[in-house]
Structure 1
Amino acid sequence: MTKSEQVPKKSRFKSEAIQWSVMIAVAAILYMTGLHKDVIATLQRAVMWTGLYDVTAQIDELNGPFLNASDYRFTMTDQEGVQLNLDSFEGDVLFINLWASWCPPCIAEMPTIQALHDGVADRDNISFIMLSLDQERDEGRNFMENRGFEMPYYFPASSIPAELSSSYLPTTFVISAEGQIVYKHEGFGNFNTPEFRNFLISLAEES
């Protein structure tokens, strides 16, 4: 093999090494600054809007269990630091979302929940409980405030009832006015649809 044949290979190897170094450096910067969560969330939203993957929250109404008196004693702290029990919302249709600021799928679906919230804002008996599972409350608080989300958010102040627990984030529940779990969705979903909005409204009108 002549020197002229070896040079392109060396040059190509050097070019690939530089490219990999740049990609690793960018990945490291994104990770250290926490921006990797936003990048992943943006990619997930892009997939949702392009329709390449159907993430529409399908309404498979669940004939689930009813919350009991002990479940309604579950204690939360609101965004102002005030403690309240779940029974403060008893009689309302509840949209409960378990999320965390470090969870890319949670970040990706949050705008769709905000849109759903805005779409039923005129209904006094539909309440949203965005339950942050961030270990540091300031992280959840800063996320909601910096992103401009206006749904009421809360932090657990006691153990989450077994019926409302999940090993997945995000997880969404809908509780009827009678206290029955009628919907559960684990993972990222698009809740900004007429079907889901009408689902909540129909439950509210039944109460």
Structure 2
Amino acid sequence: MSKKGSNKEKSSSLKKEITQWIFILLIGGALYASGYHTEVIGKIQSVLLYTGILQPNTESSIMHGERAEYSMPLLTIDGDRIYLSEFEGKTIFMNLWATWCPPCIAEMPNIQRLYNDIDDEDIVFVMASLDQDPQKAWDFVARKEFTFPVYSVIAKPRVYDSSVVPTTYVISPQGDIVMEHQGMAKYDTEEFKKFLRSVSSL
């Protein structure tokens, strides 16, 4: 092959690669401008969680060893101010999340499945949104047709002041934080359900 022909192939290959990158950047820009980039990234991560390609291990979660702070103020979807103390004496699965957080969105379908499978009045779910505008959380949950209880965080006590979103806590009926998991995880496993029920029976 002549040098001229080789240069022509390289030039054609380079143009093709540049075109592909422009296309990717245009799609990425359009998703970002529309606000759907978070959900798209979250969906990809959710698929990875489901397939097991990316499956964080909840066994590595921190056994916190601290007492729960029940004075944490929350806003209900109806606009009422309540406190975590509403659930004192029960096992609490509390997930701190936000609509702008792809890993949060990724783990929500499996949390919904966990919620569906746990039919126990002594285990409560507190999906606590960190969005500055609570309406964003309400709208997102309604659009996705999630049915777990969603609240907006008014203020976070020091004990729940994790710098990682999402962070999930499991609080025992006695008020001990028995699990703190930073980052997304797959919770709708038989092992985790067994763990949650065992905490409830302490």
Q: Are residues 10 and 56 of structure 1, via their aligned partners in 2, closer, same or farther at CA, if it must alter by over 3 Å? A: same
Q: Tell me the residue number matched to 1:140.
A: 137
Mark the runs of 5 or more structure 1 residues left unpaired by the alignment: none
Q: Are residues 112 and 54 of structure 1, via their aligned partners in 2, closer, same or farther at CA, if it must alter by over 3 Å? A: same
Q: Is the 8 A contact 1:72 1:85 kept in 2?
A: yes
Deviation for aligned residue 1:144: 0.7
In 2, the alpha carbon distance for the partners of 1:12 and 1:170 equals 42
Return the TM-score normalized by structure 1. 0.89
Deviation for aligned residue 1:15: 2.3
In 1, the alpha carbon distance for the partners of 2:38 and 2:77 equals 23
Q: Tell me the residue number matched to 2:97.
A: 99
Q: Is the 8 A contact 1:59 1:196 kept in 2?
A: no
What does the per-residue CA deviation read over 1:102-144, in whole Å, with 9 as the maximum and x for residues that have no partner? 10000000011111111113x1111111100011111111111
In 1, the alpha carbon distance for the partners of 2:49 and 2:95 equals 19
Q: Are residues 61 and 32 of structure 1, via their aligned partners in 2, closer, same or farther at CA, if it must alter by over 3 Å? A: closer
Q: Are residues 60 and 99 of structure 1, via their aligned partners in 2, closer, same or farther at CA, if it must alter by over 3 Å? A: closer
Q: Tell me the residue number matched to 1:131.
A: 128
What does the per-residue CA deviation read over 1:58-102, in whole Å, with 9 as the maximum and x for residues that have no partner? 2757261123xxx32221111111111111111111011000011
Question: 1:152-167, aligned counterparts within 5 Å?
Answer: 152-157=149-154, 159-167=155-163
Deviation for aligned residue 1:2: 6.7
Q: Tell me the residue number matched to 1:83.
A: 81
Q: Tell me the residue number matched to 1:150.
A: 147
Q: Is the 8 A contact 2:94 2:125 kept in 1?
A: yes
Q: RMSD across aligned C-alpha pairs, in angstroms?
A: 1.9
How many equivalent pairs are there? Answer: 201
Q: Tell me the residue number matched to 1:170.
A: 166
Letter in 1 for 2:28: A
Whether 2:11 is the aligned partner of 1:10: answer yes
What does the per-residue CA deviation read over 1:31-64, in whole Å, with 9 as the maximum and x for residues that have no partner? 1112221222222122223323332422757261
Q: Are residues 185 and 2 of structure 1, via their aligned partners in 2, closer, same or farther at CA, if it must alter by over 3 Å? A: closer
Aligned counterpart for 1:196 among listed residues 188, 192, 197: 192
Deviation for aligned residue 1:21: 1.4
Q: Is the 8 A contact 2:98 2:130 kept in 1?
A: yes
* Percent identical: 36
In 2, the alpha carbon distance for the partners of 1:202 and 1:59 equals 18
Return the TM-score normalized by structure 2. 0.91
In 2, the alpha carbon distance for the partners of 1:6 and 1:124 equals 71
Q: Are residues 118 and 5 of structure 1, via their aligned partners in 2, closer, same or farther at CA, if it must alter by over 3 Å? A: closer
Letter in 2 for 1:147: K
Q: Tell me the residue number matched to 2:67.
A: 66
Mark the runs of 5 or more structure 2 residues left unpaired by the alignment: none
Q: Is the 8 A contact 1:93 1:127 kept in 2?
A: yes
